[in-house]
Structure 1
Amino acid sequence: MEPDLFTAAAEQRQEQDPSSSPLAVRMRPRTLDEVVGQRHLLKPGSPLRRLVGGGTGPAGASSVILWGPPGIGKTTLAYVVSKATEKRFVELSAITSGVKEVRTVIDGARRAAGGYGKETVLFLDEIHRFSKAQQDSLLPAVENRWVTLIAATTENPYFSVISPLLSRSLLLTLESLTDEDLKGLLHRALTEERGLGSAVGLAKDAETHLLRIAGGDARRALTALEAAAGAALDKGETEISLASVEETVDRAAVTYDRDGDQHYDVASALIKSIRGSDVDAALHYLARMIEAGEDPRFIARRLMISASEDIGLADPTALPTAVAAAQAVAMIGFPEAALTLSHATIALALAPKSNTATTAIGAALADVRAGLAGPVPAHLRDGHYKGAAKLGHAQGYVYPHDVPGAIAAQQYAPDAVHGKRYYEPTRYGAEARYADVVEKVRERLGRSGPAV
């Protein structure tokens, strides 16, 4: 593989005519000192500084895994490392690339090192989308240092990256950009020649709106700024107004990444809003998940869990509703599945609440784990085999259907937990009926006294 002549030509064109590239590309940091945020990674003597200085990081790591939410500089850091070390930079995405593409890059890196004396940085975006076998294909290149691998992921690498690759890598956790970080970036983009060259200013309320739209994403902030600046200049204005921003960005990007931490935070908020019976908040979080492209099957699974965990016998129709929604979602998919998920979410949020199914099994499990089990009473044991009667198994068992009311007053639980009450019904919704029934049943069983 020859050196990347296309990339070199593109960089040359950008240097000759900076305006030919998007603002986000023109403002890409050229050195670590220009990187926005990530101060914990950029302090003197940090592993990243040592890597740029020509080392390979602690313990001889020859690959780097960058972990963090989208738009905070993972690609930028990889690019800066390659520029600072004067290495070839090759970028692949795990979404569109496979083992074949990886091997092609590795073969090219080996030839470039031998024929041109040029080492290669391979930046692999979204490595968590690679299967175990695909990640395994990277190991020889990493172990033999044919490439300097810089992999980016928005998912926890301890769950999404294979152990052999993780153990050979320097793991760097990137933090979300703050509003102050983005303010500094916007100011530089407005004033620097490679940016907008002070051709236009930025009103305070417009800046606030840009920061809200950005949601901590530097690319999003610069893209919105460039569009708003173009609108303002077209109208002959020297300052970007709030109106210009609103004209060019007609909706705020959803602060949610289906493969990152927001995935779990928003899902948690949805379930807690249902539990709290706030139907409007629940619909808000549902809308955020739908708008962000969340897998509708994931949402449906969460609703099924909520139906048993938080509603239970207070509304016995909640679980069938959630299950029916999950089946419908699997059959129709988005966009129509949004209606089904809304249907189920509203039903669950407004249903009477009871967590007795949760607390009952929790208490029973706690006793079992504490060793309170004991032998099954002899009269309840299996008697369907030769010799069972001699052992006393199934002897004395009273068949409930043979007695009035079909409730036989005999001991069912082992001695260790006889008299224990795990299920304590509420008086909410339909569970009020179960509360009356369980007291009558316990009385018939001779267990109407206080719980032990």
Structure 2
Amino acid sequence: MSFQRDAQTDLYRTESGSDVSHAPLAERMRPRDFAEFLGQEDVIGPDRPLRRAIESDTLSSVILWGPPGSGKTTLAQLIAKRTSAVFVWFPAVTSGIAELRAVVKAAEQRRVFSGQRTIVFVDEIHRFNKAQQDAFLPHVEKGTIVLLGATTENPSFEVIAPLLSRSLVVMLHALPDEALGQVLDRALADPARGFGHLHATMTPAARRHLIAFGNGDARSALTALEHVVAHTPRQPDGGLVLDEQAVAAALSKKALRYDHAGEEHYNLISAYIKSLRDSDPDGALYWLARMLEGGEDPLFIARRIVIFASEDIGNAQPQALLVAVAVSQAVQFVGMPEAQITLAQGTTYLATCPKDNASYAGIMKAMTDAQTYGNLSVPFHLRNAVMPLMKQLGYGEGYRYVHDDPAAQREQSHLPPELKGVRYYAPKKN
């Protein structure tokens, strides 16, 4: 499928049957229907609201948010095939307010004379500034156009609030390893769009390495597969065997045993966290290197660092959480490969910090009591009497203001009577 010029708008709408034989593998293997759309079942499964809205042609404005290669553009193309509306491709990189006026004018005429709706697909909507996004607002609000936006950035920060409030935000996730493996298998077996005509075989180790290389990104995995096939010599019998060595050679990267969803994934992150907990920076650095060389998402490691700072260090060194958050932000800002330096700095810092899990242990115990005892009432002296009736009922009665009565700090109870004397926070003397 491609997007061809629409005479009415001088922009683009979808047409099927285009020749994609010379397109990159990732484009050739783009899903043609929902059955081929893998890894997003929680969003686009047969019983999901978005799927029902698409199939009933009642779609309202939607913002698709997800990482590269998660299927945002593919989903837009599937919507284009399913809807009776005119589907206009509106790339944020090359379009502006002048082009939007032309689209809106055509949409208004279409709506008046034929009742036909217009869906405007804005790819990379986060690239539009506030004024450009504001230009969409009245037309979305009146229903002149249905906005379908796609972004890799958090819409809360990159899309203006009025436009966000009038749209459904749908979050797509990085493809799980199982789905990514199916994408690769399909490309290798498909004789028309993929490499089925080559009768190629792929070893399990090579498959795992390509999945790790893809890192949840279908486009990246398919591009890697295409590169491996192009650079792997044929066997004497004419066959093509993709093994771990062939993959490593083609991608110029040693194929380490690693699986994002399998045992090795959990083994390595477990070894990393335990090395941090035991204050062993050398062990932690080695397991960090193993994960990064295996293709682990650096943001996954950064998230675990932030969790570790609160769970295992806590108030023994409160600065640790600030450092961990800074590491996470720096990893997002810098990206790989330089981000490995930041991760290493955060790793060695956290490993050498004093440790105390009192905050973690305390909230776990408090959560257990909250579940066990249910909705215990807030003692009346801790309630605010914001209305006269509340004051008449005794709200706030007996409350002691600690700034005027310092003894209240130890003498005044702050727990329901059923939990009197319970202690949740017990810091260690590090």
Same fold (TM over 0.5): yes
How do 1:196-235 residues align onto structure 2 when only pairs under 5 Å count? 196-205=195-204, 206-232=206-232
- Alpha-carbon separation, structure 1, partners of 2:197 and 2:357: 60
Which structure has the bigger radius of gyration? 1
C-alpha separation in 1, matches of 2:38 and 2:79: 15
* Corresponding position of 1:346: 348
What SS does the aligned partner of 1:354 have? coil
Q: Which 10-residue stretch deviates more, 243-252 or 338-347?
A: 338-347
Match of 1:239 in 2: 240
Residues in 2 aligned to 1:159 and 1:336: alpha-carbon distance in whole angstroms: 25
- State the alpha-carbon separation in 2 of the partners of residues 29 and 362 from structure 1: 44
Q: What is the aligned-residue RMSD (CA, Å)?
A: 5.6
Identity of aligned residues (%): 35
Aligned match of 2:139 in 135, 141, 144? Answer: 141
* Contact 2:70–2:174 (8 Å) recurs in 1: yes
Tell me the amino acid that sits aligned with residue 179 of structure 2: D
Q: Does the CA contact (< 8 Å) of 2:215 and 2:296 recur in 1?
A: no
1:359–1:104 Cα change, 3 Å: same
Query: Could you tell me which of 101, 118, 131 is aligned with 1:107?
Result: 101
The one-letter amino acid of 1:199's match is: L
Structure 1 residues 293 and 39 mapped into 2: Cα distance closer, same or farther (>3 Å)? closer
Q: CA deviation at 1:209?
A: 2.8
User: Which residue of structure 2 lines up, in the alignment, with residue 20 of structure 1?
Assistant: 22
- Does residue 186 in structure 1 map to residue 184 in structure 2? yes
Distance in 1 of aligned mates of 2:342 and 2:50: 50
> For 1:321 and 1:281, how far apart are their aligned partners in 2?
18
Instruction: Give the 3-state SS of the residue equivalent to 1:66 in structure 2.
Output: strand
Whether the 8 Å contact between 2:400 and 2:408 is mirrored in structure 1 is no
Asked whether the equivalents of residues 109 and 146 of structure 1 are also in contact (C-alpha less than 8 Å), the reply is no
In 2, are the aligned partners of 1:311 and 1:355 still within 8 Å (CA)? yes
C-alpha spacing 1:24/1:7, structure 2 compared with 1 (3 Å): farther
Ranges in structure 2 where 5+ consecutive residues have no aligned partner: 261-267, 366-377, 383-398, 414-420
Structure 1 residue 272, shift from structure 2 partner: 8.4
Code of the aligned partner of 1:20 = H
Alignment of 1:35 with 2:37, yes or no, is yes
- Tell me how far 1:191 sits from its aligned partner: 2.2
1:81 shift after superposition? 1.9
* TM-score for both structures, normalised by structure 2: 0.60
Q: Deviations over 1:58-93 (max 9, x none)?
A: xxx2x1233444322111010222244473441435
Conserved? CA contact 1:275–1:353, under 8 Å? yes
Cα offset, 1:416, TM superposition: 3.2
CA separation of 1:354 and 1:234: change in aligned 2, threshold 3 A: same
Q: Distance in 1 between matches of 2:297 and 2:360?
A: 31
Q: 3-state SS of the aligned residue for 1:92? A: coil
> For residues 337 and 183 of structure 1, what CA distance do their matches in structure 2 show?
27
Pairwise CA distance, 1:413: 5.3
- Going from structure 1 to structure 2, the CA distance change for 1:424 and 1:225 (only over 3 Å counts) comes to closer
User: 1:187-246: CA deviations, max 9, x gaps?
Assistant: 432423133351241223233332332233221221111111111357775223213222
Alignment partners' CA distance in 2, 1:196 and 1:278: 47
Count of equivalent residues: 363
Contact 1:32 1:80 in 2 (8 A): yes
Structure 2 distance, partners of 1:76, 1:171, is 17
- Which structure 2 residues correspond to residues 161-176 of structure 1 after superposition, within 5 A? 164-174=162-172, 176=174
Counterparts of 2:51 and 2:14, CA distance in 1: 28
Residues 66, 171 of structure 1: 8 Å contact kept: yes
Q: In structure 2, what is the Cα distance between the partners aligned to 1:209 and 1:353?
A: 36
Report the CA distance between 1:124 and its aligned residue.
Answer: 2.9
Structure-to-structure mapping, 1:10-409, within 5 angstroms: 15=19, 18-39=20-41, 41-43=44-46, 47-48=50-51, 50-51=53-54, 55-57=57-59, 61=60, 63-85=61-83, 87-93=86-92, 96=93, 101-113=95-107, 114=109, 120-127=118-125, 135-153=133-151, 164-174=162-172, 176-189=174-187, 190-205=189-204, 206-232=206-232, 238-242=239-243, 243-251=245-253, 274-275=276-277, 277=279, 279=281, 280-281=283-284, 284=287, 302=306, 306=309, 310=313, 312-313=315-316, 319=319, 339=341, 342-343=344-345, 345-355=347-357, 374-376=400-402
The separation in 1 between residues aligned to 2:16 and 2:200, in whole angstroms, is: 28
- Contact 2:358–2:428 under 8 Å retained in 1: yes
* Structure 1: distance between partners of 2:296 and 2:131: 32
SS of equivalent to 1:223: helix
- SS state of the match for residue 240, structure 1? strand
Q: Distance in 1 between matches of 2:227 and 2:197?
A: 15
* Paired residues of 2:11 and 2:90 also in contact (CA < 8 A): no
In 2, the alpha carbon distance for the partners of 1:45 and 1:326 equals 37
102 and 423 in structure 1: CA distance in 2 versus 1, 3 angstrom threshold:
same
CA distances 1:78-113 after superposition (whole Å, capped 9, x unpaired)? 0222244473441435xx57xxx4423421313444
Q: Match of 2:412, as an amino acid?
A: A
| Counterpart secondary structure, 1:202 | strand
